[in-house]
Amino acid sequence: MDWRRLRNDMVSITVAAVVSATLVSVCQGILDGARASTTTTGRIDSRPAATHAIVGTCTVQQVVQGWSLRRLARQTVVVPVDENHVGAVATEVAAGVGGVILFGTSAPAGLGADLAGLLRRAPHGIAPVVMTDEEGGVVQRMANLVGTMPSARRMAATMTTGQVRHLARRVGGRMHDAHVTMNLAPVLDLDDRAGPSATNPDGTRSFSIDPAVARAYGLAFARGMRAAGVVPVVKHFPGLGHATTNPDDAPAWTQPWSVLKERGLRPFRAAVRAGLPAVMMTTARVPGLTRLPAALSGRVVHTVLRERLGFHGLVVTDSLSGAAVSGAGYSVARAAARALAAGNDMVLFNAAPAHVAAQTHRIVRSVVQAVHTGRLPLQRLRNAAVHVLKAKQAPVCG
């Protein structure tokens, strides 16, 4: 017998066994919620999120299998906060909400440090995504920190797509430096009217009434943001251009589905084909397609966006606090559960600072109850959490 060869073989077997046991232990620890990582930035880079975040055979899908219903529900909630007082949602972040959305018109010079401190409170090293509306024109939350941008319509009229991409990358880089990792832009709606206003939510927020122009400039803006490490969110699916009114202020209807599917859908279809990572749903109703606010309609979210267009990324709602949702007979909490069942992954709402905690609690409770009663399949909720974790490249498996 070759004793030297036998000894080498035994060493190899022992090492393999130790590695295997270690990987199993790591995965099980994650599944049990016992993660010890201290990674807290919650940032993403310009690369597309991996299909599976892996340590050994551990995937994001497997990780969420071990999460409680309340933990899953919290990961789908985005809480609002004034950018000058981000510490106001520290309790919600420590409880594990999936996102924070900044409101305001002038960010403090120390926003980056404030957000870094907030993100350190996130449990299990899984920080919330930090989002804002940095579209350009009249819709900018932190222009004083990242620089001003023309409105979308002016960009398309006065700049090349290359210039727009360069501008978005520069602004996105400054956003990323301040720990803002998701931008609720660009607007891909087709519009040529005045606004934005109470009667027209788009106006100059739209690049053009021409689908080809809106597509080209919208994709350039989104790619610039993505290159800077900021997740762009194209909106407002399936198209809010020439809507009857602003759905935040009153029940609203988009153009008829027969018109949208021929023209309004074209920029969104291009965004899906280009592999852009996130889409925001409008809360307006779509005549000829659904009588519900679009964000609450499985026909719009699941059938059209997920199945027909083949989108497999992150889907977020527009604010569920708007009059278009309440006018349809839904409270914010009930709408949140309905939106997740329809195929959304994250739910947004507005509330006064003193009411954010209570509203967050009501949403989480509503989502958990919807699972218990069968109105929200557990696997759909798990899939939503998976989409959230992938979009922000959360370090759940390594």
Query: How do beta strands 231-237 and 182-183 pair?
Result: parallel
Position 119 in a domain? yes
Confidence of residue 393 (pLDDT cuts 50, 70, 90): confident
| Tokens linked to 102 | 């900044």
List the single range of 41-55, 144-158, 317-331 with lowest mean pLDDT: 41-55
pLDDT value at residue 397 = 63
Position 16 in a domain? no
Query: Cβ(191)–Cβ(206) under 8 Å?
Result: yes
The pTM assigned to this predicted structure is 0.86
Q: What is the CATH number of the domain that holds 287?
A: 3.20.20.300
Position 7 in a domain? no
Position 17 in a domain? no
Confidence of residue 28 (pLDDT cuts 50, 70, 90): very low
Domains identified in the chain, total number: 1
pLDDT in tens, 42-82: 333 333 333 334 334 568 999 999 999 999 999 999 999 99
pLDDT in tens, 263-314: 999 999 999 999 999 999 999 999 999 999 999 999 999 999 999 999 999 9
Position 11 in a domain? no
> Hey, what's the torsion of the CAs at 298, 303, 305, 306, to 10 degrees?
100
Position 211 in a domain? yes
Q: Is the pLDDT of residue 25 over 70?
A: no
Which helix H or strand E contains 69, and what residues bound it? Answer: helix 69-75
> Domain residues for 284?
33-391
Burial (CB < 10 A; 0-12, 13-18, 19+), residue 331, is: middle
Position 143 in a domain? yes
Q: What angle separates helix 161-177 from helix 211-227, to the nearest 10 degrees?
A: 40
